Amino acid sequence: MTTSSLEDSGYKHIHATADPNRYERQLRVFHDITGFTKLGVAFENTSDGRSYAAIDMINSLSKTLGFSVQACHTKSDISDTRLAEYSVIKCFQTLAEQVDAIYVTEQGGVTETSLPILIRIANEHKIPTFSQSGAEEVKFGVLASLSQANFKYFGQFHAETMAKLFNGAQPYQLSQLFEEPPRMAVNLKTAEIIGFNPPLLLLGASDEIYREIVRPK
């Protein structure tokens, strides 16, 4: 939900949840575990597309961590899903020849139909991938993402918020900032295919470990 600020939803009767640094945490973790030097990102080159893919953050973080960014433009916000899927597949084919890691961003062309193809392209080129959307894509073969652990931490945050409301607090008085603990999801089969040896710290921080690549139904 869009909020007025981290402290204020804009309405006294509404409490929203905000996690403004989620995507930055994702990329920092991805960089920590793989040490990539050239990151590939496929996204629609529109205001919304750049926002969804967190391009400004990626470019800023690249200067801090010392990696370069290779962009490839897709079609996302269109009615023709097949065309959107094809555009992402073409981008992965291009990026796989140019980068040493790919950040799999949320967009219209990343679907259960296209994802197995995207994974195959990345794996054939031994390229580690990280899902922006979360652990569901890790189950399908993306190397890693932040774990949602069945939304346990998210649910706990809202349960605590509701308890405070039941005890007399007003929605606008409560903190909206929620940052998930640094827990991971990792696909060990993908790691094996691309020759990536997961560090013990990654395995120790993983709530979700997949040993096979599941094909979407």
Q: Find out whether 60 and 88 touch, Cβ atoms under 8 Å.
A: no
pLDDT by residue (tens digit) across 127-175? 999 999 989 999 999 999 998 664 566 566 556 656 655 666 666 555 5
Residues in the chain: 217
Distance CA 129, CA 156 (A): 29
pTM over 0.95: no
